[in-house]
Amino acid sequence: MEKVYDNNGMIVHYDNSIFIQSFSEKTEDWEDEEYKEEFKIYASLIEKYKPLYILVDTRKFLFSVIPELQEWQIKVIRPSFINVGVKKAAMLMSEDFFSQISIEQTLEEDEENHTWQTQFFENKNDAMEWLMRGR
């Protein structure tokens, strides 16, 4: 597992067509522009490494994504997932209620445009097992 990014509360690992994106408590201090910058970097990493499977560990994600940022993410970040042909995204749920709701709203807002499967999990092993199934 190779660490390909680690800065400002977001860490990304890559191994064998799988991206693991995780967050630290530093996200609690993010401003809207920091969120955008971090996710622009994430989108560029997706385009560079072309993962087919993504595990997003939001258990320590403490930033609440407001509706304007949810729309921005759909317009700016989603195309990277489509361009590289992501097949599945497993989401480990945030421990922070408001952060989790904002994450779910972002995904639900764009659900009909997904070209990949998304599922929420509370356990990392279950999420990885689901990602590997049918590979």
pLDDT of 107 reads 58
Residue pair 70/35 in contact by the 8 Å Cβ criterion: no
Domains of the chain with CATH codes? 2-132 (3.30.750.24)
Give the β-pairing of 88-92 and 18-23.
unpaired
Give the β-pairing of 88-92 and 53-57.
parallel
Which residues in the chain come in under a pLDDT of 70?
A: 94-114
pLDDT of 88 reads 93
pLDDT of 124 reads 93
pTM: 0.85
The tokens for 105 are 């709203």
pLDDT of 54 reads 96
pLDDT of 106 reads 59
pLDDT of 98 reads 61
pLDDT of 102 reads 62
pLDDT of 135 reads 74
